[in-house]
């Protein structure tokens, strides 16, 4: 599906899940390089940047923890940036681009959005929105971390092992998705200044700045997750130690009465107390007295 947006001399073409016919149409209209056209028909595994005489071609993958409309964790966007046009190609409904299109239409109608005289400025506005959306994704991770922190200190250490593991998996996937952006954006910064002129240098550096802010936020979450896992492991180890201590105490305190009961249960002629008046109660008293002595010894040694 192809959707066109116009603002002055600039054109933005947004394409979702393009067919071969649509790709051929775009290739013919904008004189796209055959290699670029061939890569638009299906998702690409790795980010990249290609430089052509009349356009720049970028492929970036954006992680989606919450706002995704398919089973894929990474959402690919292909950017073809010409002097007066920007083509975005994606294979899933991307909420950020949808919101950007609504704002773009409104601002265009009201003539409030001063984009600039070439498509580089349009790309700058779009990529800035995309990185801001990733910051919102990371805010959801922070909320989950704060919830886990509260649950850890409420005695939910066992359940938090799985919760923290799921958060760690999401952050690892997030990091794997955006890590290649750095190399692509550095290349774009160098090439875009030559392509659009020196006046675009500030915007090219600002794009990498938005990326750096987001990665710093992610690194902060990784540090917080690491601290929470260490705290949770310590509390869980301490909890397990207390349980083992109590089980050991129960086992040790019940052993002497069981031993006494076994001794008096022997079918021997000279067994003490057996056959005397109240022999049963005397044996029970010996068992209870031994148990109380063991408990007192444990308290004296401060093992309980």
Average pLDDT over residues 267-280: 65
- Helix pair angle (119-152, 157-178), 10° resolution: 170
For position 71, what pLDDT does the model report?
A: 57
Give the pLDDT band (50/70/90) at residue 116.
Answer: low
Which residue is associated with the tokens 């148990």? 291
In three-state secondary structure terms, 93 is coil
Name, of 7-16, 39-48, 89-98, 207-216, the range with top average pLDDT.
Answer: 207-216
For 186, other C-beta atoms within 10 Å of its C-beta total 14
Rounded to whole angstroms, the Cα distance separating 64 from 304 reads: 50
User: What percent of the chain clears pLDDT 70, i.e. is strictly above it?
Assistant: 85
With beta carbons less than 8 A apart as the criterion, state whether 134 and 118 touch: no
Q: Which residues contact 1 (CB under 8 A, 6 or more apart)?
A: 15, 16, 17, 18, 22
42 or 187, which is more confident: 187
All domains of the chain, ordered by start, with CATH? 2-236 (3.30.460.20), 265-300 (no CATH)
What is the rounded distance in angstroms from the CA atom of residue 236 to the CA atom of residue 69?
38
> Quick one: pLDDT band at residue 66, thresholds 50, 70, 90?
low
Task: Note the pLDDT tens digit of each residue in 150-175.
Answer: 888 887 777 888 888 888 888 888 88
What DSSP string describes 32-57?
Answer: --HHHHHHTTS--SS-EEEE-SS-EE
Between the CA atoms of 141, 147, 148 and 151, what dihedral angle is there, to the nearest 10 degrees?
-170
Q: Are 36 and 50 in contact (CB under 8 A)?
A: yes
Global pTM? 0.71
- The count of other CB atoms within 10 Å of the CB of residue 174 is 25
């Amino acid at each position: 599906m192809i959707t066109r947006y116009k603002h002055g001399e600039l054109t933005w073409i947004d394409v979702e899940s393009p067919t071969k016919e649509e790709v051929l149409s775009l290739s013919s209209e904008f004189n796209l390089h055959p290699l670029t056209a061939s890569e638009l028909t299906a998702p690409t595994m790795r980010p990249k940047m290609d430089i052509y005489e009349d356009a720049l071609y970028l492929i970036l993958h954006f992680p989606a923890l919450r706002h995704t409309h398919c089973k894929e964790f990474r959402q690919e966007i292909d950017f073809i940036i010409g002097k007066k046009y920007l083509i975005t190609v994606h294979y899933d409904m991307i909420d950020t681009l949808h919101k950007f299109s609504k704002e773009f239409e409104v601002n265009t109608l009201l003539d409030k959005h001063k984009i600039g005289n070439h498509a580089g400025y349009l790309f700058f506005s779009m990529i800035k929105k995309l990185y801001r959306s990733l910051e919102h994704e990371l805010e959801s991770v922070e909320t989950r971390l704060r919830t886990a922190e509260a649950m850890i200190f409420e005695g939910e250490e066992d359940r938090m092992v799985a919760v923290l593991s799921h958060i760690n998996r999401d952050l690892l996937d997030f990091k794997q998705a955006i890590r290649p952006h750095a190399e692509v954006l550095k290349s774009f910064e160098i090439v875009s200044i030559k392509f659009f002129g020196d006046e675009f240098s500030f915007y090219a550096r600002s794009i990498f700045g938005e990326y750096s802010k987001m990665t710093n936020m992610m690194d902060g979450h990784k540090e917080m997750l690491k601290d929470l896992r260490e705290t949770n492991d310590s509390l869980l180890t301490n909890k397990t130690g207390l349980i083992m201590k109590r089980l050991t105490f129960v086992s040790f305190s019940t052993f002497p009465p069981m031993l006494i009961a076994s001794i008096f249960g022997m079918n021997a002629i000279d067994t003490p107390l057996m056959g005397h008046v109240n022999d049963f109660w005397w044996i029970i008293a010996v068992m209870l007295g031994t148990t109380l002595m063991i408990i007192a010894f444990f308290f004296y040694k401060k093992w309980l």
